[in-house]
Amino acid sequence: MAHLAWLIVLLPLFSSACLAGFGKGLYRRFGKKGVDVLGVGSIGTSFLLATCLLAYVLSLDPDKRSIPSALWSWFPLEGKMLDISLLIDPLSAAMALMVAGVGFLIHVYSTGYMDKDPGYPRYFSYTNLFMFAMLTLVFADNLVLFFLGWEGVGLCSYLLIGFWFNDIEKARAGMKAFIVNRIGDLGFLLGLYLLFWLYASSTTMPFAMPELRADLSPLLGIGFFGQNWATWVTLCFFIGATGKSAQIPLYVWLPDAMAGPTPVSALIHAATMVTAGVYMIARLSFVFVHAPFTLGVVATIGATTALFAATIGLCQKDIKKVLAYSTVSQLGYMFLAMGVGAFVSGFFHLLTHAFFKACLFLGAGSVIHGMHGEQNMDLMGGLRKKMPVTCATFVLAALAISGFPFFSGFFSKDEILFASLSSPLGGPVLWAVGLFTALLTAFYMFRLVFLTFFGESRTPDAIKGHIHESPASMTVPLVVLSMLSVFGGVLNLPELFFLPGGLARFLRPVVAEFPGFSHALHESSYLEIPLMGVSSGVALLGIALAYVCYLRAPGLPYLFGYFLRPVYNLLWNKYYVDEIYEAAFIKPLLQTSRFSAKADLVVIDGAVNGSALLTRETSRIAGLYDLWLVDGLVNATAEGTLRLGRWLRSFQTGAIQNYLSYVVGGALLVFWLLWALVNRTV
Amino acid sequence: MLEQYLLVSVVLFVLGVFGTISRRNAVGMLIGIELVLNAASLSFVAFGRYILPFGDSPKEAGQVVSVFIIILAACEAVVALTIVYALYRLYRTIDVDKVHMLRQ
């Protein structure tokens, strides 16, 4: 089975290339069906293969589940060979199954959502390319191949955000995402360079992860400021993760990325690509455990982002914007888990989040589809009756993300909170921030639910009559995803239910453990049940608050908004972060480039033009010299010859007697000269 | 006595040349040329009579050359008259001033 893993990765690439090449023809010849067979079929096959792969990995002995599968040699680096090779282990198999599975569902959904879009084949070509890049990233055995996938998903994200590139705002959002991601990628690249430099004198190929794991000694040396090199390398990688996974300070692109088609937001900007940073930390956990400083930074940034984004999400009016900030916030949660050393819990939350956030985004897409493109929640309400399936699935997913007891999000979030309190790297502050974020999450999610699906309809009559439930191609994936969001928790039930912590045990051989982590957790296991109670209480409180504010007493939010106007304004304007970035980075940058453009124009162009002028004048003088002196001499010779010839021609009368006279005259002249000569000498 | 012969020869020569140059008529020019040839012939005979034998050349050398000149003159006359005839056929005139096609 392992030797077929490359098919999982390459099938989407194949179909993407086919669709890019013949997609239009296929669409014209066979209509949607032709494109679906390739675009959705390839992902479906990948999904089936990924399922088989996971089953195969499960069937192996727990300590033999890491199977490197080298495909071919890529290029030599300083005498060390870099291979294109896939690493099949529990982590990559689980992640690949999630990516391919959610990806497949979203592709199916897209056939309904993108119906009648003129860019239909192009859309599937992009999404398939994205699946290829994402699966490359997941399966990559070395960091260079990983980076290739990392860049590839960024590219596809750019292409898909700007999918409707006729709208300049959307094209600009794509550009913003790409540029912000590039800033993070610079950090990732620096990490790669640093790693390569550290291993320059060793025979280990530092980019190949199994080799790196076997020889960590160069990383443990002391680097700058008394921190070991592992800290610096991981910090660089984490900068990359803040870009890709939308953490402070580089999260700004994700809310704008909602300009893309909604299934894209679900696929790329909720379930898969944005979790690449979390996956990277899980993948490299064996390095991160040697860098407690970095882990502290990760946890702090994660917790801050979680809270920060959740507060912004409180008062957004665009249904997708709320979900976008919620994604940023949940990603912060995952980083919080990673930062406190709870790698498995973070990965678990990654999986459950993929289920419920994909479901939420697709539900929002279904709403937007039904509302004919309207995204403003002020114009919704009461959709429950018109879109029952969408509403039911949406509510289930919202319960899951809020941490309602025994839904998937409850388990994953609870593990994170428990770890952030009791881990040696955690503490009450991180826990409190996480708990407060959970409250905010439950509140804004149910604000969204109540504003959209319950209460009185606020829809203008023009649209009202046309609202309809989405077709089966869209509702079926919604139902599947909502079931996953409800029951996804069984993947990793806490051990205190006397059930196997499946995921934790499965991942144990791959994911490293921070020293003393499980001991500390074990010590404080008495806290687990009370904490569960607290977090369920918080979730219920959030839901109840939303219920009161938006269904029972709809005037209440306005009252808050009135009395807390500055706070409301701050949140509504997203803490003015975009404006601050605009003023602090973009404006100076543009001014610098404008200045250098001017410098270019005046100094460089001036020098170039000056030298051109000089050359021109010199050549003009040389030309004049040529014209008058050289040409003059030549012409004078010619003219002289011509005149001489004309003069001489006058002797050529053609009359024979003239010639004879010249002969006689000449002879007489010669005789006379001879005679004169003879007389003189004698 | 040689001087008198030579004087006659010079007079003949100058007359011949003058005639050749001055006459516009082609036949007249030929006559002038005949005179020049005869002047030369006369001076050969005169030299042969008064100067030879000179070195190992025979005494009759002057007469022999003059006989050659006579033959040459005959040949020349034949060729030249033929040309004149041809000229006449072409131009309907034997005035050499009107025949200047070579100039072009």
* Distance of alpha carbon A401 from alpha carbon A313, whole angstroms: 14
Q: Does residue A121 surpass a pLDDT of 90?
A: no
Q: Does residue A220 surpass a pLDDT of 70?
A: yes
User: Which pLDDT does position A666 carry in this prediction?
Assistant: 94
- CB-based contact A244:A335 (threshold 8 Å): no
Q: Do A654 and B20 touch (CB under 8 A)?
A: no
CATH number for B2-91: choose from 1.10.287.3510, 1.20.1250.20, 3.30.390.50, 3.40.1280.10: 1.10.287.3510
Task: Name the DSSP class of B25.
Answer: B
Element (H, E) at A412: helix A408-422
- CB-based contact A128:A264 (threshold 8 Å): no
Q: Does residue A502 surpass a pLDDT of 80?
A: no
Q: Is A490 on the interface with B (CB under 8 A)?
A: no
For A537-547, how does the pLDDT look when each residue is reduced to its tens digit (9 = 90+)? 888 898 888 88
- CB-based contact A319:A331 (threshold 8 Å): no
For A515-539, how does the pLDDT look when each residue is reduced to its tens digit (9 = 90+)? 888 778 777 878 888 888 888 888 8
- Mean local confidence (pLDDT), A27-40: 84
Angle at A636 between CA A631 and CA A637, to 5 degrees: 105
| Tokens 């022999």 -> residue | B64
Cα dihedral angle (A434, A501, A146, A354), rounded to 10 degrees? -60
**Closest alpha carbon to A278 in A229, A321, A336:** A336
- CB-based contact B23:B94 (threshold 8 Å): no
User: Which pLDDT does position A495 carry in this prediction?
Assistant: 63
* Distance of alpha carbon A555 from alpha carbon A562, whole angstroms: 11
User: Which pLDDT does position A190 carry in this prediction?
Assistant: 92
Task: Name the DSSP class of B98.
Answer: G
Helix (H, G, I), strand (E, B) or coil at A432: helix
> From the DSSP assignment, how many helices (H) and strands (E) are in chain B?
3, 0
User: Which pLDDT does position B72 carry in this prediction?
Assistant: 93
- CB-based contact A329:A313 (threshold 8 Å): yes
For A425-442, how does the pLDDT look when each residue is reduced to its tens digit (9 = 90+)? 888 899 999 999 999 999
User: Which pLDDT does position B79 carry in this prediction?
Assistant: 94
Q: Does residue A3 surpass a pLDDT of 80?
A: no
Helix (H, G, I), strand (E, B) or coil at A431: helix
User: Which pLDDT does position A665 carry in this prediction?
Assistant: 92
Q: For residue B96, give the nearest of A652, A655, A661 by CB distance.
A: A655
* Distance of alpha carbon A569 from alpha carbon A267, whole angstroms: 31
Q: Which residue has the higher pLDDT, A96 or A380?
A: A96
> Which pTM value belongs to this model?
0.75
Task: Name the DSSP class of A221.
Answer: S
**Lookup: tokens for B10:** 């010079």
- Sign of torsion, CA A362 A365 A371 A376? positive
DSSP string, A93-128: HHHHHHHHHHHHHHHHHHHHHTTT-TTHHHHHHHHH
What residue spans define the domains of chain B? 2-91
* Distance of alpha carbon A34 from alpha carbon A347, whole angstroms: 37
Q: How far apart are the first and last CA of chain B?
A: 51
Q: Does residue B101 surpass a pLDDT of 70?
A: no
User: Which pLDDT does position B68 carry in this prediction?
Assistant: 94
A279 vs A206, A249, A348, CA distance in Å?
19, 19, 11
In this structure, of A304-313, A343-352, A561-570, the range with the lowest mean pLDDT score is: A561-570
Q: Which residue of A has its CA nearest to B96?
A: A655
Residue contacts between A and B (CB atoms, under 8 Å): 25
In this structure, of A215-219, A299-303, A379-383, B52-56, the range with the lowest mean pLDDT score is: B52-56
| Tokens 């003393």 -> residue | A516
Q: Do A660 and B102 touch (CB under 8 A)?
A: no
Residues paired with residue A70 on neighbouring β-strands, in sequence order: A85
Mean pLDDT, rounded, of chain A: 86
Size (chain B), residues: 104
**Lookup: tokens for A334:** 């995952």
Would you tell me the crossing angle of helices A90-113 and A120-139 to the nearest 10 degrees? 170
Q: Does residue B49 surpass a pLDDT of 70?
A: yes
* Distance of alpha carbon A167 from alpha carbon A199, whole angstroms: 48
Bridge-based pairing of strands A80-88 and A67-77 is antiparallel
Determine if the peptide bond prior to A249 is cis (ω within 30°): yes
- Mean local confidence (pLDDT), A296-325: 89
Q: Do B21 and A661 touch (CB under 8 A)?
A: yes
Which chain B residues have any C-beta within 8 angstroms of a chain A C-beta?
17, 20-22, 24, 29, 96-97, 100-104
Q: Does residue A497 surpass a pLDDT of 70?
A: no
Q: What percent of chain A has pLDDT over 90?
A: 21
Residues of B in contact with A660 (CB under 8 A): 20-21
Q: Which residue of B has its CA nearest to A649?
A: B103
Most distant pair of Cα atoms in chain A: their distance:
156
A657 vs B21, B23, B29, B37, CA distance in Å?
5, 9, 9, 18
